[in-house]
């Protein structure tokens, strides 16, 4: 990836997204609600991308970092929370993909799509801690794997980064403190750990890597 190649970061206002935006300052455009783009609203995304494309063309990379979290048992999760988690984590990814990726494919050059899930959601096991959230993130993984097959011939790779317990100003500290003993590495991850993983997926070294989940969790035993 050259310094001139443009990166579009959806949800780069805080946490991991903000760290990615800082790491790619100068070539990254950030979309958040505060910048007037609602990732759950197809019309908002289409309008924003029309403006973006007129200025930059298709981006080299699309990073989707949107996704609210709720730690709640499934049987006590109400319908409103369920719909919110699906809209924030899954619907937003779908709408962003539809708004941006066709132009990346049509550009006729290599490109990268990176979506975010959560450590363990691609495994064959139940997850008690936040089942509605993890269900949405598991669907994101399947979305990415399917999209990877559609875009591979065009040279656009699609991969997922699945973070474990990552320390940042907006992380869920109580949950992380409770889960930390299950991390063999003995520490929380940093946003730098995620930035490095994404950097690999954006690099020429990952040109033949697509449809994969890169877990960054210190060995978390969820």
Is 133 one of the catalytic residues? yes
How far is 139 from 98, CA to CA, in rounded Å?
16
Q: Which residue has the tokens 């990952």?
A: 206
User: Could you give the C-alpha distances from 155 to 95, 101, 108, 111, 122, in angstroms and in order?
Assistant: 21, 12, 8, 6, 24
Query: Which residues have a catalytic role annotated?
Result: 133
């Amino acid at each position: 990836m050259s310094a001139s190649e443009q990166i579009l970061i959806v949800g780069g206002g805080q946490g991991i997204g903000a760290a990615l935006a800082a790491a790619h300052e100068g070539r990254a455009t950030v979309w958040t609600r505060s910048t007037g783009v609602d990732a759950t609203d197809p019309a908002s995304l289409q309008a924003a991308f029309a403006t973006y494309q007129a200025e930059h063309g298709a981006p080299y990379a699309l990073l989707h970092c949107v996704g609210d979290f709720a730690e709640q048992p499934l049987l006590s999760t109400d319908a409103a929370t369920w719909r919110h988690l699906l809209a924030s984590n899954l619907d937003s990814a779908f709408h962003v993909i539809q708004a941006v990726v066709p132009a990346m494919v049509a550009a006729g050059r290599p490109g990268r799509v990176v979506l975010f899930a959560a450590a363990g959601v691609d495994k064959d096991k139940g997850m008690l801690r936040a089942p509605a959230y993890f269900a949405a993130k598991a669907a994101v993984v399947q979305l990415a794997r399917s999209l990877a097959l559609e875009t591979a011939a065009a040279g656009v790779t699609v991969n997922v980064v699945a973070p474990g317990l990552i320390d940042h100003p907006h992380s869920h500290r109580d949950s992380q403190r409770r889960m930390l003993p299950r991390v063999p590495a003995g520490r929380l991850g940093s946003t730098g750990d995620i930035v490095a993983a994404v950097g690999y997926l954006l690099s020429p070294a990952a040109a033949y890597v697509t449809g994969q989940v890169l877990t960054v969790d210190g060995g978390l035993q969820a």
